[in-house]
Structure 1
């Protein structure tokens, strides 16, 4: 947080309204490295927003937010660098299952947790869709089984058609003059 002692967080509802963002485990780190917790930070709900009054205008603010089982959306009210840390074992690399918006982020894996960092974002919403690592193995296994079944079906029908062609020839139905 640069130059702001107040942060407002609100999520948009499906009908264009605003809802306060439920947060917990708030922390603030001063520029000198000192970290304070919820006892030094005032969190309240006003005007359909979660309002956080920070102990200083410059530093690092962190909170834990609610997420669904496979996605998280975090509204941003202030300009600066931002980071999203995913639960252990989750990944975002495979495009069919994972997506990160906005782009321009740096990704690293530390202690089996994906860290997504943006150097500079302003008044946007960070949206992350993620998956378990094992989901790729399950998906690959299902695709592999379906491919084997499809190839087996094609081979079966090709053999069946050839057998029927031989039977027609033996019966004399394919006799040409």
Structure 2
């Protein structure tokens, strides 16, 4: 039995090692031009004056624009509790030159830029003549709880979908705490002047507060009814013990009995 168990463990280890080596040998999976050239869910805000600009939507797709001034590459990854760093997946890649020209992912590659994926991260590398531009792409992310690492240091902005807010502390949360909220049309925009670690935005639809208030009211009502019912049952029990003469005194505390 011990020999069979040892052989099984060795086989699993061999398969895992083989899978890991294969992953590194193949570069963790190619990011295809079709993925990069996909149509964005909405227009990218290349004109924003922040280092990173996110726009969230109710279709669970976010868009982001990163200013790469002073940088020639960008490492994108997500942290997982058990599998370590994993490459960030995205689509609808666009690059805008400082003069305003916007190119797709395949054009970006044709002009010397690189978008490569390894088992641990996705790399965006600029060609020599691309200094000072901006990159944009789209990915999966819910406005109810959106998180992102700060892949570039500097100022950040996150625009919520119409009708969403973070004001109510029980259901809304923003980190880092040094932020301000601007109103842009019918939308809230959360802005930070400096971010170095990560951002977390937990938002709610303002109409959800009515539902939340109703649930809270029902919970309070259930608690009150339960308390009154317990007191009534306790009083009935005390009355029966008094009738039986089993150690119940008139001056004992109302909340206990002997």
Q: Do the aligned partners of residues 18 and 152 (structure 1) sit closer, same or farther apart at CA in structure 2, a change above 3 Å counting? A: closer
Counterpart of 1:44? 115
In terms of fraction of residues, the more helix-rich structure is 2
Q: Which moved more, 1:105-114 or 1:53-62?
A: 53-62
* Alignment partners' CA distance in 1, 2:83 and 2:177: 24
Do the aligned partners of 1:72 and 1:129 also contact (CA within 8 Å) in 2?
Answer: yes
Q: Do the aligned partners of residues 12 and 146 (structure 1) sit closer, same or farther apart at CA in structure 2, a change above 3 Å counting? A: closer
After the TM superposition, which residues 1-177 of structure 1 pair with which residues of structure 2 at under 5 Å, given as runs?
Answer: 1=67, 2-15=69-82, 17-28=84-95, 34=100, 36-39=102-105, 41-42=108-109, 44-47=115-118, 48-54=120-126, 56-68=130-142, 70-122=144-196, 124-151=197-224
Do the aligned partners of 1:66 and 1:72 also contact (CA within 8 Å) in 2?
Answer: no
For structure 1, list consecutive stretches of 5 or more residues without a partner in the other structure.
163-172
In terms of fraction of residues, the more strand-rich structure is 1
TM-score scaled to structure 2, two decimals? 0.51
Q: Which moved more, 1:132-141 or 1:59-68?
A: 59-68
Do the aligned partners of 1:4 and 1:57 also contact (CA within 8 Å) in 2?
Answer: yes
* Alignment partners' CA distance in 2, 1:83 and 1:92: 14
TM-score scaled to structure 1, two decimals? 0.70
- Per-residue CA deviation, residues 63-99 of structure 1 (Å, 9 max, x unaligned), is 3331146212212222222222233332222222122
Q: Do the aligned partners of residues 62 and 104 (structure 1) sit closer, same or farther apart at CA in structure 2, a change above 3 Å counting? A: farther
* Alignment partners' CA distance in 1, 2:180 and 2:137: 20
Provide the aligned length of Structure 1 versus Structure 2. Answer: 173
Query: In angstroms, what is the RMSD of aligned CA positions?
Result: 3.7
